[in-house]
Amino acid sequence: MSASQAIFASQAITAGWMEIPTSAVDEEARRRAEDAAIAALVDQYAGALYRVAYSVLRNPSDAEDAVQEAFVRVLRHRQTLAEVRDQRVWLIRIVWNIVLDRKRRAKTRPETDDVSELTRVLPAKGLSAEELAAAAEHHAHVLGCVNQLPAKEREVLLLSAFDELTSVEIAAVLGISESSVRSRLFRARNLMAELLDHERSLR
Amino acid sequence: MNTNPHNAMDYGEETLRLIAGLPAPAGVEERVHAALRAAPDKARDKGHVLAWPARWRAKAVLESDWMRAAAAAAIVFVVVGGGWGVYTRVQQGQTGSVVVMPLRAPSSGGFAGAGAMRTPSTLPGTKSREQGSKGARERETQPVKMPAAPKKHSAQPANQVAPTPVVSQ
């Protein structure tokens, strides 16, 4: 099945006008339609989910594993796919829970950001080698401060960095109200400013 | 790069936005597709804890509602029936309040008892009424006074027969 056909099937199922046959005879057809819908979701959202996972895990292979695990979970619960209103937020919520769980399990690992990895990953347009190294060191320092934030504030701050997510969608991902998102974001920004100022004064 | 400390937060957000905007590596979608294809059948299944065998499922006989209801009724019947059976047996067992000791079967080998009965060991002497009282216990602790032996008045004991004189012929 081509990507356009898969997207068409996904949209049709989501919109509700393409009825997934419920009779036992059409079980195979139903399954094929669900597979097509999931394939369309992969094509559409795998990249976004990867970025969400990477923002927390900061490891490419771990982030990709998390994305794969998220879609395997979708496959496992595909009968509920038609009931989902906003699939993007739903998928981000799934991958968010996976990465938080992984982060919690790997807590014994030191939370240090590899400067060389950041140098390799982050964009370096028009920067000399020295500037690039300084920028990477600074980014690592900022990420270290982010890690010092309380979990609730850190989560909101990380999700707010995604331009495509509104505060309503962040609230839906985290399962809290929009006003909580705003207040947590306010606290997170203040804490970050204090931490960065403090670090600068020590230098 | 902004080094103004008053805009420290902007700087922090800039870092996060840079990371959030990093493009996904090429081929992520294909690798996810491959992972989904290689996902175990358990994940492809509907998520039931128990599933009918594939052959029956293909015939779709057991997917109907009445078959599910019949299966559920059968399970309930077995559970209730089993519980009732256990309940009635326990009731019968509790009717006898006297514990009956099993009879000892004579052993086939070894020594026979020859009808002897075991008697409990008794205390020496006769039991008086005040046995168990304080005086009795004191007496028990003291050494037993044995009656003195009768003195030997004659050289020969009375119960001894005198030797018969030997008659020489």
The pLDDT tens digits for B84-122 are 999 888 876 555 556 666 666 555 666 666 777 777 777
Residues of chain A with pLDDT under 50: 1, 110
Residue A83, burial from CB neighbour count under 10 angstroms (0-12, 13-18, 19+): exposed
Using CA atoms in the order A72, A99, A15, A38, what is the torsion angle rounded to 10 degrees? -20
Among residues A164, A118, A123, A189, the alpha carbon closest in space to that of B13 is found at A189
Q: Give me the residue from B25, B28, B36 closest to A38, CB to CB.
A: B36
Model pLDDT for residues A65-100, shown as the tens digit of each residue:
999 999 999 988 887 888 888 889 999 999 999 999
Question: How many percent of chain B have pLDDT more than 90?
Answer: 9
Q: Which amino acid is at B59?
A: K
Residue of B nearest to A61 (CA): B25
Average pLDDT, whole number, for chain A?
A: 81
What pLDDT sits at residue B75? 96
Model pLDDT for residues B135-160, shown as the tens digit of each residue:
556 655 666 666 777 665 555 554 55
What pLDDT sits at residue A177? 94
What pLDDT sits at residue A152? 92
What is the model's pTM? Answer: 0.57
Contact A21, A61 (CB under 8 A): no
Please answer yes or no on whether B64 and A24 come within 8 Å at the CB atom: yes
Q: Does ipTM exceed 0.85?
A: no
Q: For chain B, which residues lie within 8 Å of any Cβ of chain A, measuring from their own Cβ?
A: 1, 5, 8-9, 11-13, 15-25, 28-29, 31-33, 35-36, 39, 43-47, 57, 60, 63-64
Please answer yes or no on whether B36 and A75 come within 8 Å at the CB atom: yes
The residue of A51, A56, A57 whose CB has the most chain B CBs within 10 angstroms, and thus the best one to mutate to test that interface, is: A51
Please answer yes or no on whether A68 and B32 come within 8 Å at the CB atom: yes
Among residues A120, A116, A52, A122, the alpha carbon closest in space to that of A90 is found at A52
Question: B46 vs chain A: nearest CA distance in angstroms?
Answer: 7
Per residue, what are the HEC states of B68-110? HHHHHHHHHHHHHHHHHHHHHHHHHHCCCCCCCCCCCCCCCCC
Q: Which amino acid is at B88?
A: T
Q: Which amino acid is at B153?
A: H
Cα separations in angstroms, B5 against A132, A141, A158, A161: 20, 14, 21, 20
What pLDDT sits at residue B6? 46
Tracing tokens 């969400």 back to the chain, one arrives at A52
Q: How many residues does chain A have?
A: 203
* CATH code of the region A1-109: 1.10.1740
What pLDDT sits at residue B108? 60
Please answer yes or no on whether B19 and A60 come within 8 Å at the CB atom: no
Question: B97 vs chain A: nearest CA distance in angstroms?
Answer: 59
What pLDDT sits at residue B14? 85
Residues of B with Cβ-Cβ distance to A3 under 8 angstroms: none
Using CA atoms in the order B3, B8, B13, B16, what is the torsion angle rounded to 10 degrees? 70
Contact A163, B19 (CB under 8 A): no
What pLDDT sits at residue B3? 41
At B81, the pLDDT band (50, 70, 90 cuts) reads very high
Model pLDDT for residues B29-75, shown as the tens digit of each residue:
889 888 888 876 555 555 455 666 656 655 555 567 788 899 999 99
CA B13/CA B2 separation, integer angstroms: 12
